[in-house]
Amino acid sequence: MKKPENKKLSMGTMICYGIGALGEGIGYNVFFSFFIFFMTTIAGISPAIAGTVSTVAVLWDAVTDPMIGAWSDRTKNKHGRRRPFIRWGSLLFGVSIALLFINVNLPLGIKTVYYIMINMFYWVAMTSCVIPHTALGSELTSDFNTRTKLRSVAVIFLNTGTLIATSAPLLIVSFFAGMFGSDAKGWAATGIIFGCLVALVYNICYFATNGLEPRNHNLENTNNEQSKGWAGEFYRNAIAAFKNKDLGRLLAITFFFNVVVTLGTGMLVYVMTYIYEYDEAKSSLFYLVSGIVVIIAVIPVGYLANKLGKKAVMIGGPLMWALGFLAVGLLPQSDMLLFVIYPICYFGNAAYWTMIYAMSYDVAIVEQLKTGEHPDGLYTSLIGLFMKFGNALGTFALGIGLEVIGFDSALAVQPESVLTGIRYFFALGPAIALVIAAIPAVKYTMTKKKYELYSKALENKEAGLPYDESLIES
């Protein structure tokens, strides 16, 4: 496959691409911030079962992630390798979000099975558009710094989606609950609104990127070998990917960071509701403030990545976010902590999301030099795979942790022992996982200088010129 052009991209092109991440931010965060809260307070499912429901679904979906990534790598669709997935996958993604927040009137056992099935549907639908959209970014340019800028624009949209998905739901639920006279109907209406919004923004991306995706090179393969031995080739490609040491480090970072995404953000609503006793308006104000801060943070993250390197930002980001959890959980209760200190430390969240896919684009050049393949979909899906593993562990820990500390959703006011447990669980669990996440970042080696060596070697190899073959063995 011809390498993506080593070119700068216009801001218009970056926006056309990046707007799709708005749907990811909305769909991802409305689920992780509120789904377990919905199940425990509206659907009447115990915390341990609620955590298990999501864990089972996430682990099942993790199996499909690499398959969808490899499928988009190999598809012969004349409209491109990625955009068709974005269009149709987003429609399924929107429907799944709407179904998540419907409190079905079924016996507890059947209701639990229902939410497991809807969870599984949600994750597969999300994967089918998020992974191809992310992989599309690597095909627009191979320039080391431009990829950071492209991902920065995408993360601004991602974080805008996060802001919408975290600051608006409780207000929307309250509005529709008052209109329909039921909290359950308020959540159902909220799910439908966000499902429609996700499908809408991804389809805007689909139409706005018309003509930007490179021609599908798979159409040029007339020997039909791609259809032969698909499972075996997928297995070989996956094994080769795991031999890429820097990819392995990114996967480890992703796993531990995403334990925090589900555990930390899932616990946050309990901290605000039961520790700080915020109402819907004040909780939504907090989400709005932190969302605005993390959007703004993308700008210095991109600047620091170009000045200090992506590696340095990926090391510092998790450690900074860890300080935020420790401060809120261990220091005396104060609005200053939640509205100022924690949002500033949330800079670390922006750092991860800005860097992780840009770095996965970079390390994919190793496999391209070795085999001539350009496995961006596979690499992106493996990041997604380990993201889901981390999500699963974080969700499971959230449900079990709430059960262990004695949380009872039937009580409007929790016992002091439970409040203490919530504080320490919120502080220490995420902080420990984030410190562990920073360790493999220290060992990451794909610097700009090393990437340029690989890029030059690849150019020479494709031109039939001598190149540094020792890079293949490194």
Spatial separation of the C-alpha atoms in residues 185 and 183, rounded to whole Å: 5
Question: Residue 218's pLDDT is what?
Answer: 60
The answer to whether residue 86 sits within a structural domain is yes
Q: How far apart are CA 184 and CA 43, in angstroms?
A: 8
Structure tokens at 385: 């795979």
* pLDDT of 235: 63
Distance, CA of 420 to chain centre: 30
Contact, 185 vs 320, CB < 8 A? Answer: no
pLDDT for position 474:
61
Supply 48's token pair: 């341990």
Over 185-207, what HEC string results? Answer: HHHHHHHHHHHHHHHHHHHHHHH
Number of H-type helices and E-type strands within the chain? 19, 0
Q: What's the domain range around 166?
A: 16-212+242-457
Neighbours of 271 (CB within 10 A): 23
Which DSSP state fits 151? H
Tokens of 229: 């031995």
pLDDT of 359 reads 92
Residue of 284, 293, 283, 358 lying closest to 321 (CA atoms): 293
Number of structural domains found in the chain: 1
Q: Is residue 2 part of a domain?
A: no
Spell out the residues 6+ positions from residue 469 whose beta carbon is closer than 8 angstroms to its own: none
Domain membership of residue 236 (yes or no) is no
User: What is the structure's pLDDT at 1?
Assistant: 43
Residue 227 is predicted with a pLDDT of 46
Decide if 224 is inside a domain: no
Rounded Cα–Cα distance for residues 94 and 199 (Å): 5
Does the residue 471 lie in any domain?
no
What is the C-alpha to C-alpha distance for residues 198 and 158, in angstroms, rounded to an integer? 12
Instruction: State both tokens at 397.
Output: 């820990």
What is the distance between the alpha carbons of residues 261 and 389, in angstroms, rounded to a whole number? 12
Residue 473 lies in a domain: no
Local confidence pLDDT in tens for the 474 residues of the chain:
445 555 678 888 899 899 999 999 999 888 877 888 888 888 888 877 877 777 777 677 667 777 777 676 677 767 777 888 888 889 999 999 999 999 988 888 888 888 888 988 998 898 888 888 888 887 887 778 888 888 889 888 988 898 889 888 888 999 999 898 889 999 999 999 999 999 999 999 888 888 777 665 665 665 544 444 555 556 666 677 778 899 999 999 999 999 998 898 889 888 998 999 988 788 888 888 887 887 888 888 888 988 899 999 999 999 999 999 999 999 998 888 888 888 888 888 889 988 998 898 888 888 888 877 767 777 887 887 888 889 888 888 888 898 899 888 778 788 999 999 999 999 999 999 999 999 999 999 999 899 889 888 888 888 888 887 777 766
Quick one: tokens of 382? 């493996």
- Is the C-alpha dihedral spanning 19, 21, 23, 25 positive or negative? negative
For residue 251, the domain's CATH number is 1.20.1250.20
| DSSP conformation class of 325 | H
The rounded distance, in Å, linking the Cα atoms of 221 and 195 is 38
Which whole-number Å values give the CA distances from 94 to 9, 59, 98, 165, 194, in the listed order? 30, 21, 7, 13, 7
Query: 415 in a domain, yes or no?
Result: yes
